[in-house]
Amino acid sequence: MFSHETTRGKEEKVARIVIAGNWKMHKTIGESVVFASNLRETLADQADLPEIIVAPPFTALHAVSAVISGSSIALAAQNIHEADRGAFTGEISGLMAKEAGCSHVIIGHSERRTLFGETNERINRKLLTALAAGLNPIFCVGETLPEREENRIEEVIEKQLKEGLNNLDDSVISRILVAYEPVWAIGTGKTASPAQAQEVHDFIRSWTAGKYGKDAAEETVILYGGSVTPQNISALMSQPDINGALVGGASLQVESFVEIVKYKSNQGV
């Protein structure tokens, strides 16, 4: 299935390390403020941490932005519309997310694809809009269980990458974080083994090298998402092409999220 071989060791990782927490439709404004305050306090004066991003619901973006202002914690929206403005009830634009304090936005999450029918073409328009608004996209790709069982992983991932990144200028690829999230592992408690995750991450990096060049590929942040926990983060991060995690359920409690953020201490690094 995978014909290429990874040649880099863990110590040769070039891309920066990022841990992002996607809260999905959880936490009121008050709960979000308490969480953000506790997270900031817990991580204050901690050294050698990854970049940290939190993605609250839309209603809490501005309030959380105020809490984390001046800290090393960044803010992401969970989604945006592809238009800057218009008659789109219930949607928000990239400009609105940016004004609320966001530096990042999650685009193409598997739940947006499966539950809301978002196509690669629409995701591409959202990526273009996000970049134009000054947001750094966390661009999600991943296969379903039937696609994996049919050995179509590379085909599916390549199509999502090719169509999702269509018409993007080479100069902006460094602003895009790619998140590999096997759909069968989202919220199910199932996790791709470190070796399975590494195979797909290596494929994504190889594809990126072919499209944008080796230097761009080496610097591309590729996150793993799919039932990430404090128990499996160290094993995942030991893989050479995994540059961090997009965390769902385990990001909803400060204690478990901090354990993931501080995974290096569990590795003895």
User: Which residues participate in catalysis according to the annotation?
Assistant: 109, 181
SS3 of residue 65 by DSSP = helix
SS3 of residue 92 by DSSP = coil
Total count of residues recorded for the chain: 269
Question: Could you tell me which of 134, 129, 123 has the C-alpha nearest to residue 85?
Answer: 129
The four Cα atoms 92, 96, 98, 99 give a dihedral, to 10 degrees, of -150
DSSP readout, 220-258?
--EEE-SS--TTTHHHHHTSTT--EEEESGGGSSHHHHH
Beta bridge partners of 222: 178
CB atoms within 10 A of CB 267: 12
